[in-house]
Structure 1
Amino acid sequence: MTTTIQVRTNQATKKTAQLILEKLGLDLSTAINIYLVQIIEKQGIPFEVVTENGMTPAEEKKILKEIVWAKRHGKRYASAKALHDAILKE
């Protein structure tokens, strides 16, 4: 038994995807079905979802937490020379 899924996307995205899929010998419906099967098999998105800086949302969240911690608890230096001297002492 089949069912219908309606997806909203802009016309340029649809057209470009169709052109690429045509070169692969696939239509849009088949490609979407492949994607859905992969979601089921992987139990999630079948590729890594990253933010615009190339990190996963979890990696980005971890780094942001580290930045907040460093701002609250990190050492501060009056100058680059003071930082350099502190590094050399360690």
Structure 2
Amino acid sequence: MTTVNVRIDEKTKARATKVLSHIGLDMSSAVKVFLSQVIIEGGLPFKPKRSSKEIRAQWDKDIEEAVKTRNIFTSVDDILNDQTV
């Protein structure tokens, strides 16, 4: 097993935790389910509801932050094999 650390604002975490608790999941279990579905689907297991422009802007921001703070991976296998993720 490995550990994944995710930076997210407190409000989003609190709201997600509340929703997940109503369906019997904790955050860790929900992330495991999500990542398993990403692998099965070969991408996001849902269609994002925000506009592509908004999504792209957020992704660009997230990528910029990742470049500053962490490794850059070129494949899912690299991510799964990395011990710092």
What is the distance in 2 between the residues matched to 1:49 and 1:18?
Answer: 20
Partner of 2:37: 38
> Structure 2-normalised TM-score?
0.57
What is the distance in 2 between the residues matched to 1:6 and 1:27?
Answer: 15
> Structure 1-normalised TM-score?
0.54
What is the distance in 2 between the residues matched to 1:21 and 1:51?
Answer: 21
Q: Which has the larger radius of gyration?
A: 1
**Stretches of structure 2 lacking an aligned partner (at least 5 in a row):** 54-85
Among all aligned residue pairs of Structure 1 and Structure 2, give the percentage whose two residues are the same amino acid. 36
What is the distance in 1 between the residues matched to 2:11 and 2:2?
Answer: 25
Instruction: Give a deviation string over 1:36-86, Cα, whole Å, max 9, x none.
Output: 000000011111135438xxx7xxxxxxxxxxxxxxxxxxxxxxxxxxxxx
Query: After TM superposition, where is structure 1 displaced by more than 2 Å over at least 4 residues in a row?
Result: 49-53
Residues 1:50 and 1:15: Cα distance change in structure 2 (over 3 Å): closer
Q: How large is the RMSD of aligned CA atoms in angstroms?
A: 1.8
1:9 counterpart SS class: coil
Partner of 2:28: 29
Are 2:7 and 1:8 equivalent residues in the alignment? yes
Count of aligned positions: 53
Q: Where in structure 2 are the equivalents of 1:11-90 lying within 5 Å?
A: 11-52=10-51
Point out which structure has higher relative CO (alpha carbons under 8 A, 6+ apart). Answer: 2
What is the distance in 1 between the residues matched to 2:51 and 2:41?
Answer: 23
**Stretches of structure 1 lacking an aligned partner (at least 5 in a row):** 58-90
